[in-house]
Amino acid sequence: MKKILIATEKPFAKAAVDGIRQIIDGAGFEAVLLEKHTDKQQLLDAVADADALIVRSDKVTAEVVAAASNLKIVVRAGAGYDNVDLAACSAKGIVVMNTPGQNSNAVAELAIGMMIFMARNQFHPGTGREIKGKMLGIHAYGNVGRLVAKAAQGMGMSVCAFDAFVPASAMEADGVKAIGSVEELYSSCDYVSVHIPAVPETIKSLNYDLLSRLPKGATVVNTARKEVVDEEQLVQLLTDREDLKYATDVATGNQAELNEKFGLRVFATTKKMGAETAEANLNAGLAAANQIVDFLVNGNTRFQVNK
């Protein structure tokens, strides 16, 4: 019987796990659950005879791939797959998929919440600001970016976006002003909501040069990946520009220093929580299970990311 390992250090909600099991059992496969594992060896042991693997942000390294002699497919239940060593998987003919869009609303709601949280001094006493009437820049107009844009418009914000891979017409159709360059985006927005993946071209791309273009009093909300920010240059920037704020899901490597130096001008979640809703767990978890069954039974590779 084919074995499908659900390896989630940050567990899915129970309803999602139950639903995943139902799909796997219904297809005649065996579901094996590894949750909250603290030791890499636990994953290496569990994956050894697995045919398929479902993960969240869990790292599927070359070592994990090497330990898996039966593995045919890895599904990252979520959007970003920077945690999966694609080259190692491809070299062994292992299909890698994500579940695009399934947790996007949860992340978009967090981005809006963090924007308001920062505008209101992290709910500390004192006069805050409203987001209505302000200019929001969406950095990458994908599934999450589009939802953030729509919600922000509903709250009276003006919205513009930069995305090198999305035609301007698609943004304009949503009432979003298309911006021609990332520099122009950061130069013209009171808030920037970051939705870029962590890939070699974007890692540390939010650097001093880019962020220093922000207008007075601006806030950057990063619900994408902490790796896209140059952490050392961020310290320098926030030191030089006392008007700027930075909120991130999840904490940077130097978050303690940021908190100590900049207080309420910075905020970080302690564990990545953009997709941590019951709804997102269910959507992404069930999609992952369905995609695995569809692949193992029918050979469907629709969501493959290492083609």
Q: In angstroms, what is the minimal distance from the CB of 223 to ligand 3PG? A: 8
Residue 39 near residue 64, CB atoms below 8 Å: no
Find the largest Cα–Cα distance for the chain.
Answer: 62
x/- track of binding to ligand 3PG for residues 233-272 (CB under 6 A): ---------------------------------------x
Element of type H or E holding 193: strand 191-194
Return the residue matching tokens 């308001």.
116
Angle between helices 143-154 and 104-119 (to 10 degrees): 50
Q: Does 285 bind ligand 3PG (CB under 6 A)?
A: no
Q: In angstroms, what is the minimal distance from the CB of 144 to ligand 3PG? A: 9
Quote the Cα angle for 155-159-165, to 5°. Answer: 135
Q: Does 114 bind ligand 3PG (CB under 6 A)?
A: no
Return the residue matching tokens 């030089």.
240
Which member of 10, 37, 129, 150 binds ligand 3PG (CB under 6 A)?
10
Q: Helices (H), strands (E): how many in the chain?
A: 12, 12
Q: In angstroms, what is the minimal distance from the CB of 143 to ligand 3PG? A: 10
Q: In angstroms, what is the minimal distance from the CB of 100 to ligand 3PG? A: 9
Nearer to ligand 3PG, 57 or 290 (CB): 57
Which member of 4, 23, 29, 57 binds ligand 3PG (CB under 6 A)?
57
Nearer to ligand 3PG, 237 or 291 (CB): 291
Nearest to 108 by CA among 73, 143, 78: 143
Nearer to ligand 3PG, 77 or 266 (CB): 77
Torsion region of 9: left, alpha or beta (phi above 0 gives left; psi -120 to 50 gives alpha):
alpha
Nearer to ligand 3PG, 40 or 261 (CB): 40
Q: Does 274 bind ligand 3PG (CB under 6 A)?
A: yes
Which residues 27-56 are close enough to bind ligand 3PG by CB under 6 A? 56
Q: In angstroms, what is the minimal distance from the CB of 31 to ligand 3PG? A: 18
Nearest to 79 by CA among 8, 150, 24, 144: 144
Distances (CA, A) of 81 to 54, 102, 119, 293: 12, 14, 31, 20
Nearer to ligand 3PG, 73 or 79 (CB): 79
Q: In angstroms, what is the minimal distance from the CB of 291 to ligand 3PG? A: 14
In angstroms, how far is the first alpha carbon of the chain from the final one? Answer: 27
39 CB contacts (<8 Å, ≥6 apart)?
Answer: none
Which residues 70-109 are close enough to bind ligand 3PG by CB under 6 A? 78-80, 103
Q: Does 275 bind ligand 3PG (CB under 6 A)?
A: yes
Tokens of 153: 């418009």
Nearer to ligand 3PG, 111 or 235 (CB): 111
77 CB contacts (<8 Å, ≥6 apart)?
Answer: 8, 12, 54, 55, 56, 99, 102, 284, 285, 287, 288
Which residues 165-224 are close enough to bind ligand 3PG by CB under 6 A? none
**Contacting positions for ligand 3PG (CB under 6 A):** 10, 56-57, 78-80, 103, 272, 274-276
